[in-house]
């Protein structure tokens, strides 16, 4: 099996790296949009508790629907390819970032805010120089979880023509060639582990800078 895997890789090197590039690109695009949506939305929810339940409930309700089923439902509306896959993946990736952002801001003690205001800080300064930095480690943890999830789930996007390493996984299963599935699945695992280790390092740095560990 290992020799078959090596032979397949050597015969399809450019195609393989094209799949890798597509997979990473989709994952990055989804993560960026999830961050751009999730963090501001999380801040709003933290500041407006009544709105928090509605937004988090809606996002989590959408997340209950299986990823592949959600992608299939998108096909009649916006077609096949990377765009519908990206929309679904953003929905899947959003909750960890949203929830951790809310938790991060709610974890900032009122006494800290009051001290900052007592020092003459404006509301903007309290937010930028106190609240956001203290919430950042938890936000980073949410992003870390989201990235690992999106790298794994992007494999499903191949079923609606989005490409990526999921093509190898599905074609390997379809043709009964385990080594192709192993190449695709193994590559996804490596990317996921590498991303997790990188973001773990970033999270640890942020945590230490905020003085949250000894």
pLDDT digits (tens, 9 = 90+) for 116-154: 888 888 888 988 888 999 999 899 999 999 999 999 989
DSSP secondary structure of 40-56 = HHHHHHHH-HHHHHHHH
Across 84-92, average pLDDT? 87
Q: Is 120 helix (H, G, I), strand (E, B) or coil?
A: coil
Angstrom CA distances, 209 to 17, 60, 127, 136, 204, stand at 37, 32, 17, 10, 9
Which pLDDT does position 98 carry in this prediction?
A: 94
Which pLDDT does position 205 carry in this prediction?
A: 83
Which pLDDT does position 211 carry in this prediction?
A: 58
Question: How far is the C-alpha of 98 from the C-alpha of 166, rounded, in Å?
Answer: 27
Across 63-79, average pLDDT? 77
Per-residue tokens: 157: 């996007």
Q: Which residues contact 40 (CB under 8 A, 6 or more apart)?
A: none
Instruction: State pTM to two decimals.
Output: 0.86
Q: pLDDT tens, 161-197?
A: 888 999 999 989 888 889 999 999 999 999 999 999 9
Q: Is the pLDDT of residue 214 over 70?
A: no
Which pLDDT does position 82 carry in this prediction?
A: 85
Cβ–Cβ under 8 Å, residues 173 and 183? no
Question: How far is the C-alpha of 181 from the C-alpha of 175, rounded, in Å?
Answer: 10
- What one-character DSSP code corresponds to residue 28? H
Which pLDDT does position 213 carry in this prediction?
A: 46
Residue with structure tokens 């690109």?
25
Nearest to 185 by CA among 195, 197, 171: 171
Question: How many Å is the Cα radius of gyration of the chain?
Answer: 21
188 versus 204: the higher-pLDDT residue is 188
Which pLDDT does position 202 carry in this prediction?
A: 84
Across 68-88, average pLDDT? 81
Burial of 133 (0-12, 13-18, 19+ CB in 10 A): middle
Q: How far is CA 195 from the centre of its chain?
A: 11
Which pLDDT does position 197 carry in this prediction?
A: 93
Q: pLDDT tens, 3-43?
A: 888 998 899 999 999 999 999 999 999 999 999 999 999 99
140 versus 49: the higher-pLDDT residue is 140
Question: How far is the C-alpha of 180 from the C-alpha of 161, rounded, in Å?
Answer: 18
Report all structural domains of the chain as residue ranges with CATH numbers, in order of start.
Answer: 2-209 (1.10.3720.10)
């Amino acid at each position: 099996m290992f020799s078959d895997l090596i032979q397949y890789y050597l015969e399809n090197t450019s195609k393989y790296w094209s799949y890798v590039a597509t997979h990473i690109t989709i994952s990055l695009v989804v993560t960026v949009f999830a961050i751009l949506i999730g963090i501001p939305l999380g801040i709003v929810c933290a500041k407006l508790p009544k709105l928090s339940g509605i937004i988090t409930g809606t996002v989590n309700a959408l997340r209950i629907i299986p990823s592949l089923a959600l992608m299939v439902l998108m096909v009649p509306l916006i077609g096949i390819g990377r765009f519908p896959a990206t929309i679904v993946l953003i929905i899947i990736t959003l909750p960890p970032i949203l929830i951790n952002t809310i938790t991060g801001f709610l974890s900032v003690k009122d006494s800290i805010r009051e001290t900052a205001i007592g020092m003459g800080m404006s509301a903007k300064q309290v937010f930028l120089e106190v609240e956001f930095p203290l919430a950042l480690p938890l936000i980073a943890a949410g992003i870390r979880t989201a990235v690992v999830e999106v790298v794994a789930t992007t494999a499903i996007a191949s079923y609606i023509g989005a490409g990526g390493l999921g093509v190898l996984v599905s074609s390997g299963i379809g043709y009964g060639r385990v080594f192709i599935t192993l190449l695709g699945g193994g590559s996804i695992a490596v990317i996921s582990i590498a991303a997790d280790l990188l973001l773990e390092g970033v999270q640890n740095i942020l945590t230490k800078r905020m003085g949250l560990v000894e």
